[in-house]
Amino acid sequence: MTAPPEFRVGLRVADVEAARQFYEGLGFVPAAVIPDAQGRPVLAILEGHGVTLMADALEGLPFPDTPRERNTQRGPRGLGVVVGLIVDDLGATYDYFRASGCTFTSEPRDEAWGDRVFSALDPFGFEWEIAQPIPGAETTDGPAATQAAWFGFPGERQ
């Protein structure tokens, strides 16, 4: 038996089953589902891309009623956090997001560090940045190339 990935990301969602299905479409594989007393899934555990991804129910988990929990339930989902994913086929992943009704926050574009990237809000309100390395566009100094692209001048490497 292989050990699960060492990195975990938990996303609180209103519909755990729909989230499980959506994230499976991004290449995550179901590892476990925990249902409540009525048999509704309240936690789906998926693995892939070196990550354990957990989709937790916004309501129905045995968490105490705290200000943090009330804020989590109220939203917005993942404010200030972007989940990044490197894929082999950016076009197919873009089409999957579009077919799933996602809201795009940026269209596909080539970035100075050598990736083609787009970003979108998934059906549960979490922002994803999807990237695919551009063949032949590898840069030996991605941070300097990025700084030059963003600010018009190369800086010192930190």
pTM (two decimals): 0.85
Using an 8 Å Cβ cutoff, are 19 and 125 in contact? no
Q: What is the pLDDT of residues 102-155, one digit of tens each?
A: 999 999 999 988 899 999 999 999 999 999 999 877 666 777 877 888 888 765
pLDDT of residue 36: 92
Residues sharing a CB contact under 8 Å with residue 100, sequence separation 6 or more, in sequence order: 22, 25, 122, 123
Q: Is the pLDDT reported for residue 57 higher than 90?
A: yes
Q: How much is the mean pLDDT over the chain?
A: 90
pLDDT of residue 95: 98
Q: How many whole angstroms separate alpha carbon 79 and alpha carbon 66?
A: 19
Complete domains list, the chain, with CATH: 1-60 (3.30.720.120), 82-150 (3.10.180.10)
Q: What is the pLDDT of residue 156?
A: 56
Render pLDDT for 26-47 as a digit per residue (tens, 0 to 9). 999 999 999 999 999 999 999 9
